[in-house]
A = this chain, B = another copy of it.
Amino acid sequence: MKHEKAKELFTEFLKNEKNRITPERFEVMESALDYEGHFGADDLYIVMKNLKSTVSRATVYKTLELLVKCELISKRNFGDNLTRYESNFKRQIHDHLICMDCGRIVEFVNPRLSKLPEQISNELGFVISSHSFNVFARCRDPKNCKYNK
């Protein structure tokens, strides 16, 4: 069965937070974890509609926020002001480089960064929750860059 572990985690989270366990919420969870790459809430809604789901737009939006809270997905923002999400499930923590010419998004993992968010939080008197590190740059080699933003 698919996303069995995620389903467990989400159920646990819903119970702890005194939220109800509904089939719609699991439907959204499944679709979100299945989505390849980054997606907007509305993108996910459309995909689900096309797959004949009856879940409403409002439920998709609300459930995505629940999934962020229980850390099954991450909320991203790449400088345009669109909210994007991506699955965390079975994925390493990573950061993003955005090409300012073509909009391409490159994911990277940098060990020099890994402890930094926690250290900074501690130094400032906070407890870390998450971080977002975006590098905005341009393709060095223009023929790799489609300028198709």
Contacts and interface: CB of A to CB of B under 8 A. Distances in A.
B83 A81 contact: yes
Contact-size category for A = 35 or more
Contacts of A136: 128-132
A139 to B, nearest CB: 6
A36 interface: no
A55 interface: no
B135 A108 contact: no
Interface of A: 75, 77, 79, 81-83, 97, 99-100, 106, 108, 110, 112-113, 116-117, 120-121, 123-141, 144
Given A97-B121, A130-B136, A132-B133, 17 more contacts: A75-B79, A77-B79, A81-B81, A81-B82, A81-B83, A97-B120, A106-B124, A113-B116, A117-B135, A124-B137, A126-B137, A127-B137, A127-B138, A127-B140, A128-B135, A129-B136, A129-B137
